[in-house]
Structure formats: structure tokens, C-alpha cells
């Protein structure tokens, strides 16, 4: 049996084993492949980066669940790191109950990273002054429209049961008029609801972070200007991480960037297997 026949009949379990090793090595060794941000990611970054410190707020809507967290959770952390580093006020809320724990996790991780390197109180991230976690409420349509009139009216208390109107940040951020942009991170069509209600009624700028499989549905709305920026899948998360690292100096653990390195190596390996498989097939067929 020739080497090409052996390669053509290789046990698929061996292929899966090799693929597993190739995916694991970049995650363990922390191999980083350079990532060049796409225009939609750069557009969202520029909009958020242009918000003056301690003025209008960035609102992040955590609209995903554990199923789509690998792609979307790094986006939430990168957005929070950017805002905290630039001293931009942040309001975080959750569209669904499953998003509450994920939102709180992202907030704690991002605030801890900033506070570990803070030397003064001004450099620190403080709850109530720099960010607020509003939590979850029901029904969605009521607060999509209600926050255009009064955020405290929709969320009388925050997730930690503090009266919303007593928090320092919320004395300045009273309605959608005081929000510079809302970014919806979702594995579904939730960002379109913000366009249909909050943007059309109150002129709220909306950005979106979505899974890679649904990006084709969102591009027409980005091109029309309805979305003020777009992060698409793991690559979009990695692009935003790199933008924050380059412009804000936040270069610590970047999970999406590392995952993209592992994904890139896996894709190269699959391409190599496909090429070898086709060569083996044509050589064996020619001999027969």
C-alpha cells in the first residue's frame, strides 16, 4: 500500500486528535496572530471613543445566553474596558434573565482589571459613579419605549436594589437623550427591536454585536446607517480587543484574540487535510 493510499484511508479519530492538539497549543502558549480591524468594528470604536468623559453614557444591552457567549461575551468585556479606560459612563442591562449572570461577570472582570492598575480614586472604576447595572425587567416593549421618557421610571431600583435615582451616575443619565449609543450584544434579532422602537421614536444611536452566522442579515442596516457600528462573531470581538489594546493600552488577557489564533490554525489544518485528501483520491483513481 502506497503512502497516498494510507493517507486516503487514515482513521478519522487520528484527524480529530491532531485537530484537537492544533487548537489547544495556541490557547496554552498564548500565540497571537495579528488582526486587522474591519471598517464596521472601527466605526463602532470611533463612535464610542468620541464620547467625552463623564458626559453621556454608553448603554450595553446583554441580549445573549450561554449558547452564544463564546462569541459575544468577549465583546461585552472589551466594550467595558474601553469605556472604563476612557472614563465614559456605562449603563448595563439584560434583555433576558439568562443574560443577568453573564452581564455581571463581564462587569466584575472588566472593573477588576482597571482597578488593579489604578493609583488614585479618579483612575478607579466605582459603582454608581462610573457604571450602573440596571438588571432585567419585563415586558421588553415597555422599557424599549419607557426609557426614552425616564430610565428611573422603568428601573426604579438597580440589580442590587439601590434606588436608581439616588445613584450619582443616574442623576446625569435620565433618559435615552442622555445615552450616546446603545450596543446590543445578541445571538438573535434583538438589535432590530432597538431600531424599530428606541431609535425611530427617540433617535437613539444603536450598535450591534452579533454571532457570525447572522451577519448577513445585519449588513444592510449597517450600510443604511441605522447601525452605528457592528461586531461580527469572534472575529469582531477580537478586532475590538485589538483596537482597545492599541488606542487605550489595555493589553491584558484578550480571550477573543487568542481564540482567533486557535481558529486560524484549525482552518489551516483543515485546508491541508482537504488538499492531501484530494491528491490521494486523484492519484489512487489514476492508478486504477
Please tell me the distance from the alpha carbon of residue 241 to that of residue 23, in angstroms, as a whole number: 20
pLDDT of residue 1: 59
How high is the pLDDT of residue 235?
Answer: 93
Q: Please tell me the distance from the alpha carbon of residue 85 to that of residue 95, in angstroms, as a whole number.
A: 25
**Same structural domain, 139 and 73:** yes
- C-alpha span between 273 and 267 (Å, rounded): 10
Strand bridging mode 89-94 / 131-135 = parallel
SS3 at position 140: helix
CA atoms within 13 A on the CB side of 240: 35
115 and 188 fall within a common domain: yes
The whole-number pLDDT of residue 207 equals: 97
Dihedral sign from CA coordinates of 109, 240, 203, 213 = negative
| Distance of alpha carbon 112 from alpha carbon 121, whole angstroms | 14
> Could you give the dihedral angle defined by the CA atoms of residues 157, 158, 163 and 168, in that order, rounded to the nearest 10 degrees?
-140
Q: Are residues 269 and 236 in the same domain?
A: no
Could you give the count of Cα atoms lying within 13 Å of 237 in the half-sphere of its Cβ? Answer: 28
Q: In what order do the strands lie in the sheet with 131-135?
A: 131-135, 89-94, 57-63, 179-186, 206-210, 227-232
251/147 Cα distance (integer angstroms):
35
144 and 170 within one domain = yes
CATH code of the domain in which 204 resides: 3.40.50
pLDDT means per 10 residues in the chain (288 residues)? 72 86 83 86 96 95 93 95 95 92 94 86 91 90 89 94 94 95 94 94 96 93 95 94 87 79 87 86 78
Give the bridge partners for 179, in sequence order: 57
What is the spatial distance between Cα 89 and Cα 130, in angstroms, rounded to a whole number? Answer: 5
State whether 19 and 140 are in the same domain: no
CA quadruple 236, 237, 243, 246: dihedral, nearest 10:
-140
Contact call for residues 199 and 183 (beta carbons, < 8 A): no
d(CA 81, CA 117): 13
In the prediction, which pLDDT does 23 show?
87
156 and 264 co-located in one domain = no
104 and 52 together in one domain: yes
Q: In this predicted structure, what is the pLDDT of residue 48?
A: 97
Number of domains in the chain: 2
1 and 118, same domain (yes or no) = no
Question: Domain range spanning residue 205?
Answer: 34-253
CB atoms within 10 A of CB 67: 11
The DSSP call for residue 52 is P
Cα 150 → chain centroid: 27
Same domain (yes/no): 218, 273: no
Do both 190 and 268 map to the same domain? no
44 and 159 both lie in a single domain:
yes
Same domain for 273 and 224, yes or no, is: no
pLDDT of amino acid 56: 94
Query: What is the Cα–Cα distance from 218 to 208, expressed in whole angstroms?
Result: 9
Residue 42 main-chain phi, psi, to 5 deg: -65, -35
Amino acid at each position: 500500500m502506497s503512502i497516498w493510499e494510507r493517507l486516503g484511508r487514515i482513521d478519522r479519530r487520528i484527524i480529530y486528535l491532531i485537530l484537537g492538539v492544533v487548537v489547544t497549543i495556541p490557547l496554552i502558549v498564548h500565540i497571537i496572530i495579528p488582526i486587522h480591524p474591519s471598517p464596521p468594528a472601527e466605526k463602532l470604536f470611533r463612535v464610542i471613543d468620541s464620547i467625552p468623559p463623564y458626559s453621556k453614557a454608553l448603554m450595553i444591552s446583554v441580549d445573549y445566553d450561554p449558547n452564544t457567549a463564546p462569541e459575544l461575551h468577549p465583546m461585552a468585556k472589551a466594550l467595558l474596558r474601553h469605556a472604563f479606560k476612557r472614563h465614559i459612563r456605562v449603563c448595563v442591562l439584560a434583555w433576558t434573565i439568562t443574560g443577568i449572570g453573564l452581564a455581571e461577570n463581564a462587569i466584575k472582570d472588566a472593573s477588576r482589571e482597571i482597578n488593579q492598575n489604578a493609583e488614585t480614586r479618579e483612575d478607579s472604576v466605582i459603582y454608581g459613579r462610573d457604571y450602573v447595572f440596571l438588571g432585567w425587567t419585563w415586558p421588553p416593549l415597555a422599557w424599549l419605549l419607557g426609557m426614552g421618557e425616564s430610565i428611573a421610571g422603568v428601573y426604579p431600583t438597580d440589580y442590587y436594589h439601590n434606588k436608581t435615582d439616588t445613584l450619582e451616575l443616574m442623576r446625569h443619565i435620565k433618559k435615552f437623550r442622555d445615552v450616546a449609543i446603545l450596543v446590543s450584544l445578541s445571538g438573535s434579532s434583538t438589535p432590530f427591536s432597538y431600531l424599530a422602537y428606541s431609535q425611530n421614536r427617540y433617535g437613539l444611536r444603536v450598535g450591534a454585536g452579533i454571532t457570525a452566522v447572522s451577519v448577513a442579515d445585519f449588513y444592510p442596516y449597517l450600510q443604511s446607517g441605522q447601525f452605528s457600528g457592528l461586531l461580527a462573531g469572534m472575529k469582531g470581538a477580537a478586532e475590538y480587543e485589538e483596537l482597545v489594546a492599541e488606542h487605550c493600552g489595555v493589553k491584558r488577557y484578550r480571550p477573543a484574540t487568542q481564540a482567533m489564533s486557535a481558529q486560524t490554525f484549525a482552518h489551516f489544518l483543515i485546508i491541508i487535510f482537504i488538499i492531501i485528501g484530494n491528491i490521494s483520491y486523484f492519484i489512487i483513481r489514476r492508478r486504477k
